[in-house]
Structure 1
Amino acid sequence: MVYFSTPAEINGAFGNMVNRYDYASHAHHPDAALALTLAQLKPGESVLDVGAGGGRFIAAAKQQVGNGFCVAVDALAGFVAQDIPFMLQQKGLAVSPNGNPSTQVHCVRANINDANFATTIPRPASAQQFDCIVAVHLFTTLPPQQRRPAYVRLRRLLKPSGRLIVNMSARFTDSTPLSSESHLPVQFRTSPYTESPGAHLVSEFRITQDADTDRVMTDRGGREAACASSHISCHAAARGKTLIGRGDDATNETTSQTTTRRQSVLLSI
């Protein structure tokens, strides 16, 4: 397996994609579109995009929320300084402090693995927490032991009624990649995969006796999913596709299970 957590590892994996991230990751544009659909953003809502890459999602989100407070975060300096600003400019938006409340996006370099991650994130002045947090293609790059701490850090930045959208791509084999994809990290290639992403995502949150865990649910396959902290709904589907949970009535699309929680986790697998 290939994971990236230190600055050197992140730069080694993604550094050659600076100035061309959006083009190089075109096969994953539908993932950003799906995340936007699941987010169901409303004007004025606040949005945090962690692992923003080329800025495709945060630009589209800002266009939907208008004056809503938006932050794009990435661990790679080149994406924060070049790719995200370019995408924002293309969409008629601006990097804060330029522009005005209806066009501004705060761009921040930060690593989700850092213990002080939350202190580096600009926050909405009123609530200090976000209505929606998105981390597309982030957890799939993290070493297994770092996923749950990262998840908890994001949860603490989320409003009690907020939505958290993450995905967990399947791990790919070490088969020879297509020449057109040889520059991409292994997680982003279209080679055959061997792992069940749903099972791996669920297994990361098994801890049942922890201050940040208040409920454990079990899917039809018998796997446990620990639902972190303040009433987050987490669903695990036996066959895994898109798993969603929202507001006070969170329902798994692929099963008949329903749970009631204030926060929600939306998982695209």
Structure 2
Amino acid sequence: MARPFPASTGRGVRVAVVDSGVHPDHPHIDASRIDAGVTILADGTIEAGADATLDRLGHGTAVTAAIQEKAPDATCLPVRVFRDGLKTSAAALVTAIRWAVAQEAEIVNLSLGSINATHRDIFARVADEAVAAGILIVAAREANDLPCYPGALPQVLGVAPDWECPRERYRIETIDAQRTAIASGYPRAIPGVPLQRNLYGISFAVAQMSGFAALACERVGRVPSSDRAAAIHEALAQEAALFSQT
């Protein structure tokens, strides 16, 4: 099956992966494409160091592998916000996005968020900062059928899963006046393991869209930072329209 952006590999694109870190020795990970990252604590404190982003949960490694599968030449920057479980704070996520801005990433992969509506405004402010810096945030649009922030914001590429969508494809739909990406929630298959026995869910739909967004970013090329996020959005929509006809 033909894939989107067949001439692109994500070369030159930096993707901040906000998750549980990465295990660089995993066979699905290309460690040469992993840059230095950080841990961000629940209060927003940033920690660096040799083991700051070592994944002890496995989730971030699987998410990073999904991004690298789609965009093998992109550089991933691990931002560990999960330590003992898949739970963090709004303060940590805001700090993670601002750290990605400071590191001049082009894509922020955020497969989580907050359903607390009181967090909407702070996420809107930091999403505006990201857009102004030329960063596209790719994030889960909903959680438990509730809007999830920042993914439900118009400045962000919100993602929803489709269990029937081929992993090599995605589509763009307008939901509640927001352009939304629809992608498979399954990671790459493990031989001999049924799909439902492996990790799966919205995290992998988001990761695959971050990979596709890295390909779109390479396609877009050098544009003013203030226009880059919108240009990536448009490239994703145009490519989806092309291969939806095949």
TM-score using structure 1 length: 0.34
- Bigger RCO of structures 1 and 2 (CA < 8 A, at least 6 apart): 2
TM-score using structure 2 length: 0.37
